[in-house]
Structure 1
Amino acid sequence: MASRSFSEEDLSCPVCCDIFINPVLLPCSHSVCSVCIQRFWNNKRFKECPVCRGRSSNDCPPLNLALRNLCESFLQEKRSSSGDETVCSVHNDKLKLFCLDDQQPVCLVCRDSRKHSKHRFCPIDEAAMDNKEILKASLEDLQEELRISVNHGQYLCETAEDIKFHAHYTETLIKQEFEKLHQFLRNEEAFRITAVREEEEQRNQMMEEKIEETTKQISSLTNIIRDIEQQMKAEDVSFLQNFKATLQRAQYSLPDPVLSPSVMITFTDHLTNLKLSVLQKMQDNAGETSDFSINNSCSLFDEWHLGTGPVNHLTTSHERDKNEGRV
């Protein structure tokens, strides 16, 4: 590249003696860093060139773009060719100092340049040691934050497992309680159906007895009617001789065949206040059932909190961290 034909001296500002930064072109054809020329003019009565003292009427001289591009190319090639981070990219000198104001390593030439005028410096090793101590404290804080975050994440995971366990256990208890209610209703249903069937059997036995009695009455009436019909067909003398006995048999009367209402099965005996009575029984039994379930639940949760239950593995690590003051 073209920059290789120029030396560092050719590309250095006559004021700061560093590589040009945004060089401006003066009327006398000399170039100076834009910042350097403004500083130089601040102390002068006339705007003159720091090299030849030629005067300039322009307060803002134009940028020397060609020279600026040349300087940038020169610095880029110098950095890539050196490949050493311990060497100053501007002066190609070893970085031995640390600028406390700009917070960057500098060489001895940088220290004496105007860019670092009135700045504070210290040796590289001291600056590195001090900054490492600062960074070490920050690193320890970050490590502590990481430990707390890890413990908190573990606690959240364990809490999620606890929630899952509690939900599953509560669901199991609900199913058990409703199974007891279902079983109670099934037992109550079976008891009441059995009562209806027992009453049905009693009523049927009563009906069989009445049917048998009625059958006998029908047979007796049939025989009486047949005998009377035969007497009416007999000779007059024979009819009159047996008339009195036949008349007595003809005056035979049967009991009222109408069934008594008490014989029938009534719905009200089995259905009146059915829901209320069942609910009352459920309420009477609910105390013992609920107390039993609650006692079982409390016993299990007591074991869990004491670390002796089946879910101890869900909280052991968190409790240990809590006891050790990590959380």
Structure 2
Amino acid sequence: MLGRAAAMATGFPVKKLKEEAKCPICLDFLEDPVSVDCGHSFCLQCITEFCEKSDNSQGSVYSCPQCRSQFQQNSFRPNRQLASMVESIKQLSLSSSTKKTWLCEIHKEELNHFCEEDQIPLCWICDTSPEHRNHKTIPLEEATRSYKVKVQLALEHVKKEMEEALNQETNVGKKIVIWKEKVDLWRQRFILEFQKQHGFLAQEEQQQLWRLEEEERVIIQKLRESKVKLAQQSRTLRNLTEELEKCSQCTAWDLQEVNSRESLREE
């Protein structure tokens, strides 16, 4: 009976509890959890860095990374009950699973430092080697948290740009419809007007209609080209959003691969 109960305790409920105990920004267990006005909770350091680096703030008002509800930085509320629960879940996790560690390929030691100059994870031997001795290094967990905060901010920025591009695309589509309706209305007015003096102004009528149609063609063509460009921009931003969302799930080990690709791209 005890064995069956232990298996149930370490099954799906534990996994769900672990997800609930993680910070939405760094995706790690909550540290010094605080709640904002909308009720969502984050690590104190994560949400503080988010506010400091956010470019979407209005004065001292910020948007929640999860639901975009507005909150003020001075309204953080320490969530001691949640902190206690997180500690209990940590202990439960330690008793039910072994934490996976990444090892240095050269020294076979755990990677627990990050070189800010070379942008790569290090073990304690690498950190003290002549190659990195004079470089600035920080704990790998801190580097991971900072990286994920940057990804989250970039993701928010790209989502906002994509939303603006979609709105502009929709507005251009509405302008096309409006222009078509206006042209149809003017066409009817011209036809009625020239019918009154058709015998005298038949030639002038044809010229006016030709000019109107030419103006319609030019304007509609410009609007369609604008709509195509905005659609392309929307697709580009959507692809970038998907890439950033994938990056937000990156592990500490992936930092080296991401930065290596960025270095090759810059070269």
TM-score by length of 1: 0.29
Bigger Rg, which one: 1
TM-score by length of 2: 0.35
Greater relative CO (CA pairs within 8 A, separation 6+) = 2
